[in-house]
Amino acid sequence: MDDSRLIRLVNEPIRLAEWEAKLADIDCGAQAWFAGVTRRTTETNDGQTLLTKTLFYEAHPTMAVGQLDQLAIDAIGKFELRRVVIVHRLGEVPLGEASVLMGCASPHRKDCFAALPWMMDRLKQEVPIWKRETFQDESTEWIHPEPRDPT
């Protein structure tokens, strides 16, 4: 793994400040970050509001790192990125804290803007990480979305 890609699974809170410098590249005018954060409220399709108490994340760790690295390689090939950082937290991720942080750097901003959503979509489709919801009523549920494109 060369220094254009940094992939980490962590068990502690993700602080943007710790990772910020990893995107530095003197020929990149654009840096973009996305953080996915545990949200209190979820609106269901039938109009209910579910209240989350906390989330817990589990991974197949070696496979997840491999898939995230491949995702970063593919993003660098598809967009003009010079740096990609992906950090995913495992274990409990309380309300308001980040479960995932993705960053990228590119010479021009359009590449960063196009790459971030693409990388997040692919993470959510392919990377073997799962979340378990604990709702305010203490009920729990592993989240396994129906595949949109079953193969």
Which residues would be at the binding site for a copy of itself (CB under 8 A)? 15-17, 20, 24, 26-41, 95-96, 98, 107, 109-110, 112-113, 116-117, 120
* Of the residues 118, 120, 134, 135, which one makes contact with another protein according to CB under 8 A: 120
Applying CB under 8 A, which of residues 62, 94, 108, 110 lies at the interface with another protein? 62
Rounded to a whole number of angstroms, the minimum distance from the CB of residue 92 to another protein is 15
Q: Which of residues 68-107 bind another protein (CB under 8 A)?
A: 88, 99-100
> Interface with another protein includes 131 (CB under 8 A)?
yes
| Separation of alpha carbons 42 and 135, rounded Å | 10
| Residues forming a β-bridge with 56 | 92, 132
Smallest gap, in angstroms, from Cβ of residue 88 to another protein? 6
Helices 61-78 and 109-126 sit at what angle, rounded to 10 degrees? 150
Return the range that interacts with another protein (CB under 8 A); candidates 14-22, 45-53, 74-82, 116-124.
116-124
117 vs 74: CA distance, rounded Å: 14
Q: Is the dihedral of CA 68, 73, 74, 78 positive or negative?
A: positive
Q: Taking every pair of C-alpha atoms in the chain, what is the biggest distance, in angstroms?
A: 51
Binding site for another protein (CB under 8 A): 36, 57-60, 62-64, 66-67, 88, 99-100, 120, 123-132, 142-147, 150-151
